[in-house]
Structure 1
C-alpha cells in the first residue's frame, strides 16, 4: 500500500509517499481502507522529532481517520466487514491507504456523517469536548476564554461553549482569523499578536476574569491564562505548540483558588482507562443533527502530505486540514 513515510526527522520535505507493507489485522483488530485522515499539530511534532511519544523513524504519522472495514482479525465482535467507521490510534498510522486498528478504538459512522467530518472527530473535537464538558464543566452564564480559536480545537471549543450557554472570548493571531472565529459564534475577539489578552478579558468581564480558560497554545501564554482566570476559575492546559517553557508566578492563581487541569488524550486512555467511544458517538450524532459543525479548511491527496504540513505550520488554516489517502490528484 501507499503511505506518507518519515525516514528521518526534519521539515515537511521528509514526508514522502512510499510503498509499505499492508498491515494484517491481529487479535481484536480490523483493517480499514481509509477515505480520510486528519492532519494535526501532533503529526507535525512527530515528523520533526519533537513529539514526546513519537518513537524513532521510519514512522507513518496520523492519529485519526475514517473509512471502510475490509478485514477483521480474531475475536472481533463490535464491527464487521463493510462497516463505515472512524478510528484513532491505528498502525502504521493514518497517513496511508490502510490501517489496522483495535476494535476498541473504532466507532461506527451514523448515516449522514461524511468521511472528512468523521475522520476529524477523534483529536480536535474530542479534545475540546473532554476539556470543556468533563474537566472544566462549563455552566450557562460563564465566560470562556478560548486561545487560538481558529484552530481545530479552538473551532469546536467555541461551538461547544456557546451551546453550553457561555459567553466566549476568542483569541487569534490575525484579524482575519479573529473575524472567522466571531463568525463561528464567539462573542468577543482579541488579536493576541497585538493586544493584551489579560487586559481585554478583565475589561470585558468587569475585572472578574473568565470562569474557564482553554489554553491550546502553552509556553508564555499559560502564564497569561492564569492571570485571565477569575476567582474559582478553571484553566485547562492541553498543548504546548509554542514549544517553550512556561514561566509562571504562583501568586497569579492560588490566591484566586484557580484550578489547573492538564489534558493529553493518549495518556488518558493508556494510563487512566478512558474509553472515548461514547463521547465520540455523541459528537458524531451532534454533527449529523447539525448542532456541531466540523469546518474543513483544505484537503490534500496523500502524495501532498508535505504540503498539508506546510499549510498547518504556516497557520494558514481555519479549521481542519485533511488528507485523502485514496485520492491521486
Structure 2
C-alpha cells in the first residue's frame, strides 16, 4: 500500500517520507479499512514534530482519524461487515504505530463506527478527535439539558462541534471567537450568544446573559491562557472541561477559589479516556448525525502524497476546521 511515514521527529519536510509499505491484515477482533480520508489534527503534527513526546516507535504512519470502507474482518468481529462505510479514531494511538496517512489501516473493531450514507468520507474523518473530544467535554459528567455552556474557540475544529452538540443536548450556548468571520461560523452552529474576545468584554457579556449566575460548564481550548477570565464567569457547582492549554502549559491554579465555588476540573485527552465513555460518545454521535443536517468544517484537502503539505497547513495555525488527506488519490 501507499503510505506516508516518519522515522524521526522534526519538521514535516525533513522527516516525512512517502512510498510503499506492506498492506496490513486484520487480526483477531480487528477490521481492515480501505481508507478514503485521513484527518490531520494538531496532536498528529505535534507528535511528528517532537513537541508532544519523544519518538515512540521506529517508524510511524501519522494521523489518528479517518474514514473509509471495511474490506476485511478479523476473527470474532460481529458488529461490522465488509463493504460498510465507517469512520474511526485513535488510529495512531495506544500502542499502534501505523495511523491513517495510508491506503489501509487495521485496528480494533470498537474504534470503528458506521458512517451514514449522507456524510462524506472527508466529513467522517473529522469525527474522531474533534467531535469525540467535544462530546466527552460536554457529556462526560451527564446530561446538559437546561444548563448554560460556554465554548471557547467556538469556530475551531473541536469548538464548532461542541456548539452544535451542546445545542442538540438542550443547553444554552455561549461561544467566544477572535474575529467576525469566526463569529459567523459560531452562529451557523447555533450559538445563542457569540462574543469576540478581542473587542468585547467576555465576562460582562456572559454574566449579563446568565442574569449574573455564571455558566455551568466551559469547554476550554486554552485553560492556562484563559483561566483568569474563566474563573470570573463560573457558576457555583460548575465544571471546566479542558482539552488543551497551549497558551500556558503550566498555569498557576487558585485551588482555594475552585474549592469555595465547587468548580470541578475535567481534563482529558481522547486516547486515555475509559472505553465505556468512548463507546457512549460513538453511540450518541451516531444519533446526532441521524437527527439532522450537521456542519462539518473542512479546512483543506490534500492528496496522500501531499501529507507533508497537510501537516504544514495544520501548523500554520489559521485553519478553520480539519485538514483532510484524501487517501485514495
TM-score (norm 1): 0.88
Does the aligned pair in 2 maintain the 1:120–1:294 contact within 8 Å?
yes
Are the aligned partners of 1:84 and 1:109 in contact in 2 as well (CA < 8 Å)?
yes
Partner of 1:81: 82
Backbone CA RMSD of aligned residues: 2.4
Q: Using the alignment, how far apart are the partners of 1:64 and 1:127 within structure 2? A: 12
Deviation at 1:102, TM superposition (A): 1.3
Task: Verify the 8 A CA contact 1:9 1:57 in the aligned structure 2.
Answer: no
Structure 1, gaps ≥5 residues long: none
Assess, with a 3 A threshold, how the Cα gap between structure 1 residues 41 and 196 changes in structure 2: closer, same or farther. Answer: farther
Shift in alpha-carbon separation, 1:30–1:164, aligned structure 2, 3 A: closer
Cα deviation, residue 136, structure 1 = 5.9
CA shift for structure 1 position 68: 1.4
Question: Structure 2 CA distance, aligned partners of 1:150 and 1:49?
Answer: 27
Give the SS at the match of 2:231. helix
**Superposed, which structure 2 residues align to 1:89-238 within 5 Å?**
89-90=90-91, 91=96, 92-135=98-141, 137-140=143-146, 142-193=147-198, 195-238=200-243
Aligned length: 323
CA–CA distance in 2 between the matches of 1:246 and 1:298?
A: 33
Asked whether the 8 Å contact 2:38–2:66 carries over to 1, the reply is: yes
Tell me, in whole angstroms, the C-alpha distance in 2 between the residues paired with 1:143 and 1:28.
Answer: 41
Question: Closer, same or farther in 2 for the Cα pair 1:9/1:218, shift >3 Å?
Answer: farther
Question: Residue 33 of structure 1 contacts residue 99 of structure 1 at CA under 8 Å; is this kept in 2?
Answer: yes
CA distance in 1, matches of 2:288, 2:79: 22
2:302 and 2:263 mapped to 1: Cα distance? 42
Give 2:263's aligned residue. Answer: 258
CA contact (8 A) 1:106 1:277 kept: no
Match of residue 312, structure 2, among 310, 313, 318: 310
Unaligned 5+ segments in structure 2 are none
TM-score (norm 2): 0.88
Which whole-Å CA distance do the structure 2 matches of 1:55 and 1:195 have between them?
Answer: 44
CA contact (8 A) 2:85 2:117 kept: no
